[in-house]
Amino acid sequence: MSRLDRLPPYLFSAIDRAKAAARAEGRPVVDLGVGDPDRPTPPELVEVMAREVADPAGHSYPAQRGDRGLRSTVAQWLERRYGVQADPDSEILVLIGSKEGLGHLPLTCVQEGDNVLVPDTGYPVYGQATLLAGGEPREYSLRVANGFRPDPADWNRLADKRTRLAFANHPHNPTGATADPGLWRELADAAREGDYVLVNDGAYLEVSLDGSRPASLLAAVDHRESRVLELHSLSKLFNMTGWRIAFAVGNADVVGDLARVKESMDSGVFTPIQKVAQHALGQRFEELRAEVMAPYAARRRVIVDALAAGGFEVFAATATFYVWARVPAGETAAAFCARALAEQDLVITPGTGFGPGGEGWFRISLTAADTDIETAAQRLREWR
């Protein structure tokens, strides 16, 4: 079978079709499906972009590893925000969104017949990128009993001599689960013993709703001693999903290998976007972040209260803008979400869209206008 043919089918196509049909019928659909912020990029960042885009200096091919100014700002930001020291020249690499970095990572180390540990449930790209590189994704379970965190014993059992990479993602899409420094150290130990690279997809590290600070892999594990990498993204952090900018930080060998793959595949991020990122991660970071995150805690409360009133069990999480809740007993996730659309004009995501481990669960995204959140809450409350 070709690598392309090994890619799994797109699991949301049935929902997408039903959603389009409901909208075509003029039904008042509220979409809490996609994790794409409803609000615009902060105006201050748009102004920086307008200024930068007018400067012809930014119109040519960008610097391959990312603008030196941005990489130094990232280094200072990592030190201030996470207490992590990283060398801007060898340990930081600018990405065209974290998805790009995830997509390219298996190409750095996976040969035909190698395998990669990926979370079930999880963002589908880890497994898909592994398949496209010719590798075999090996799913490790994230169980509710373990707070949807990886169990290092599972990694030890699944890994073998052909394991090259393990992907983790905390804070986690879809559950919102966070790791802690002790767990990061245990996972890094497992990876070191198994001689594979540990990557944390930290796309939601800054999306916390209660002022708490989710644990970063790099803050817990010395990347100069272990082959670890963490990806940070400005997408969800600054309502910039369409702009495409993120960065990888970590072990110089791993960063260097990823840079080599990227040199063959892309030409970096449009320089004005990098200038915007530099501004956003600079002295104004705290204020800008607070402004973007402000609506989510209240939205989460509204939805969680409505789910509780409707008798749904909700997984307690304080990070990401997702709510993860249990499907009523006796119903599959797909059937329940189809019914939410048919009976309540609500688009929500079946847990199985993130792997078989998501059976029995559904995800609500809080990235919809406050009025839509209120409407959805009312429908959920009255439904059961």
Ligand X SMILES: Cc1ncc(COP(=O)(O)O)c(C=O)c1O
Binding site for ligand X (CB under 6 A): 35, 97-99, 123, 169, 173, 201, 203, 233, 235, 241, 246
Tokens standing for residue 297: 């805690």
- Of 176 and 295, the one with the shorter C-beta distance to ligand X is 176
Closest residue by beta carbon to ligand X:
97
Residue 333 near residue 352 (C-beta atoms within 8 A): yes
Cis peptide before 175 (omega within 30 of 0): no
Kindly state the smallest distance separating residue 382's Cβ from ligand X, in Å: 30
Q: State the minimum distance, in angstroms, from the CB of residue 293 to ligand X.
A: 16
Q: How many Å apart are CA 280 and CA 187, to the nearest integer? A: 31
361 neighbors 324 (Cβ within 8 angstroms) = yes
Q: How far is the CB of 282 from ligand X (least distance, A)?
A: 20
Contacts made by residues 311-316, CB under 8 angstroms, sequence distance 24+: 311/384, 312/380, 312/384, 315/144, 315/148, 315/175, 315/176, 315/177, 315/361
Cβ distance to ligand X smaller for residue 37 or 194? 37
Nearest to 368 by CA among 7, 30, 11, 19: 30
Nearer to ligand X, 108 or 169 (CB): 169
Give whichever of 230 and 345 is closer to ligand X, judged by the CB atom: 230
Judged by CB, which is closer to ligand X: 90, or 241? 241
Residue type, 47: E
Give the list of residues 6+ apart from residue 17 with CB closer than 8 angstroms, or none. none
CB of residue 211 to ligand X, shortest distance in Å = 22
CB of 233 to ligand X, least distance (A): 3
**Do residues 251 and 224 make contact, with C-beta atoms less than 8 angstroms apart?**
yes
Among residues 155 and 321, whose Cβ is nearest to ligand X? 321
Q: Which is nearer to ligand X, 235 or 344 (CB)?
A: 235
- Rounded CA-CA distance 178/199 in Å is 15
Q: How far is the CB of 33 from ligand X (least distance, A)?
A: 12
Q: How far is the CB of 311 from ligand X (least distance, A)?
A: 28
Q: Please tell me the distance from the alpha carbon of residue 89 to that of residue 106, in angstroms, as a whole number.
A: 22
